[in-house]
Structure 1
Amino acid sequence: MVPTVSDNSGPIGPTSGSFSARRLLLVGTGAISVAFLPYWIKWLGLALPDVECRVVVTRSAERFVTRESLSAVNSSVAQLDAWPEEPRTTALHVEWAQWAEAVAVYPATVNFVSRFAAGMGDTPAMLALQCTRATIGIAPSLPPGAIDNPVLSRHLKEIQERPGVCVAPPEPGRSSTTGRHDAYVPPDLPTLLALMERSSGRMA
């Protein structure tokens, strides 16, 4: 079952005056649409110049996009969602959880959605999301057939019921594997951020 948005005003991409968060943690996971993140990071810099963005990618995301390309279009170096080998004065997940005013997971794979719904904290980004007070936006990317999975539907419903968390309804889209429009892809990043802003307003 595809999650729905109760606000009938429709998604409108935010501008510099309409997105209240000034520190955005952007997490990219291993769906093929993560390849578009450099474009969206460039858009962020133009449309929301007052927003500081930190980018984190999972190991599976690196199949489709490099940290070098993400760093080249952002003001900070993209980081890998993995426990650091070197000792740190501040734990990475604590740093991210406390720094972020908003967290966007774009795109979010079935695996990421399921781990988040289960309350897991097996990577720094996942643990940060479980601990942060920031508004969290999830943009699922679903392969063919996943939308009909009852377990995944339950996970999406559970996530939407969490305070401060919103899910952007995925849209029917073309599967890179089958070549047919039998997948569900995330909406554009401005749509997710607009939904997060409305969610944040309802929390206030």
Structure 2
Amino acid sequence: MKEPRPRPTFRHERACMAQGARFICGVDEVGRGPLAGPVTAAAVILPRKGIPRGLDDSKKLSPAKRRQLAEQIKDCADWSIAHASVEEIGQLNIHYASHLAMRRAVAGLRQRPCMALVDGKRLPWGLDCPAEAIVRGDAACLSIAAASIIAKVERDRIMSDLAQQFPGYGWEQNMGYPTETHRRALAEKGATPFHRMGFPAIHKILCPDPSLNL
């Protein structure tokens, strides 16, 4: 029999509390891989009691469940959502733009955190509090899972709104990721102001002749 998949727990937060930290935030981002749209990050300080049931890595949840949980998280937690724009992605690269969005999200919390638990291998520069990087943190840590959910819901909303302004790219479904529909539309219609023109994948689509690639 297949063993059940491990779910996020409050273990990391409790370990921080045991060392005297009172306010612990989880931090995650969404939107590193798409060809279009911003990268979005969230920071969440969950309460010690009354945490919504069913929190999980946002990628493991249906869109409807994510939206439901996002509302519950916002009702009970201190939370903040921030972005790095397409222009900033082009100026900084996606890695540093993701870290910029994370830093903005932490700075936007009402309560300054004593510790930030950040999804990934590397910590964003310039955080105004101690921090710990947790690989696959969205699948292991409830605060990071909560951040992953509200970041995903917010970015999906942005891309759905942009899809109405720029129809044909399928953003309401692919959220800017390089699906076949998106790649075909990019080749046929060209790029929009919200495409990440610094991404090599876009140049390969717009300039299929390798000698013309930038």
TM-score normalised by the chain length of structure 2:
0.28
| Bigger CA radius of gyration | 2
Q: TM-score, normalised by structure 1?
A: 0.29
Higher relative contact order (CA 8 A, sep 6+): 2
Which structure has more helix as a fraction of its residues? 2
